[in-house]
Chains A and B, each alone.
Chain A
């Protein structure tokens, strides 16, 4: 490679390295702001701000869903398998909402430590399968479940 091209190659590598470092450091500094939601553990540790709207994400705890018979009000808890956060929501839940499903709820923490949600979104996981396979796995108790770290980064 002749010296001129070598010099230009070095400039290109320098651009890549410089941009990479600058953006890497920025993202590292902002890492908490980039997370879409707080995990139940972060909320339990008090890392989530109070009196402002936050998002909490986790798996809906089995058997925790309590629906009000007269209204759309529903109470449930989400967990990252270390801690859990109770959530209260009045409104229409996404179709994918069910026990054991990952969800992200947006709302404010109240004085009792419950999240008063104004929006609940379902978080789909990476597993796709036909219904028959899902049924067979369910019967065998081998249904893939998201792990705690999925919600705790």
Chain B
């Protein structure tokens, strides 16, 4: 093998059978960690974090809005990366990951847009403004919907995988646009409160629960992704002997 420093299980993930087994072992851990973090973060953020001096309690929607927006973008990058791996190495599992992640990402984009609108009404005075951040986020949702539609429109799994991979790769351009929209243009949406080079524009009492929620969201929706992926694997590999054995044992 060309790359020797990577562990064996990493290459095994490329095999549907091993991927099914490895995710099966990870799921209970992800379930425990994600539920703990999300419950902790929600209670901490909603009940114990201090109110904001200007927005009062309405700022607490940040504990849903920011994790949802971060994940919607992360999952899009994951979808494009999986699509690229599927295109280049013709790896079945990568296509399955790309297909499984799209509906989750779309739901998160909807959640980010909805919570943003609910926050925008009392804070800005408007549910929706066509500024660069909001519009590029809406484009992200449409890209997800396009990928889902394209996937279900093409019958052949291989062709569908290739077509959606190309669409997700083209749409990847939108990710830096979302990120930098608030810096490049005049927008109503505020710039990021967290930057790598500066200290956060909010005190730790506020951002620690937010960090807990972000990690909680990653594990929770990573879990959702694994569950979807396993279904997808079983469905596509239904003719493989290991799936038949698995199903006959259970039935």
Question: Does B2 lie within 8 Å of A122, measured CB to CB?
Answer: no
Closest A residue, CB atoms, query B187: A36
Interface residues contributed by chain A, number (CB under 8 Å): 48
Interface check A144, CB cutoff 8 A:
yes
Interface check A59, CB cutoff 8 A:
no
Interface residues contributed by chain B, number (CB under 8 Å): 44
Interface check B148, CB cutoff 8 A:
no
Query: Which candidate, B26-34, B52-60, B226-234, is the interface stretch facing chain A?
Result: B52-60
Question: Does A126 lie within 8 Å of B205, measured CB to CB?
Answer: no
Residues of B within 8 A of A133 (CB): 53, 203
Known contacts A16-B169, A34-B132; is A130 also within 8 Å of B52 by CB? yes
Interface check B5, CB cutoff 8 A:
no
Interface check A72, CB cutoff 8 A:
no
Bound form: Cα–Cα A12–B122 in Å? 44
Question: Does A20 lie within 8 Å of B173, measured CB to CB?
Answer: yes
Question: Does A122 lie within 8 Å of B123, measured CB to CB?
Answer: yes
Question: Does A12 lie within 8 Å of B51, measured CB to CB?
Answer: no
Question: Does A127 lie within 8 Å of B185, measured CB to CB?
Answer: no
Q: How far is the CB of A121 from chain B (nearest CB, A)?
A: 5
Question: Does A129 lie within 8 Å of B203, measured CB to CB?
Answer: yes
Question: Does B187 lie within 8 Å of A130, measured CB to CB?
Answer: no
Question: Does B88 lie within 8 Å of A37, measured CB to CB?
Answer: no
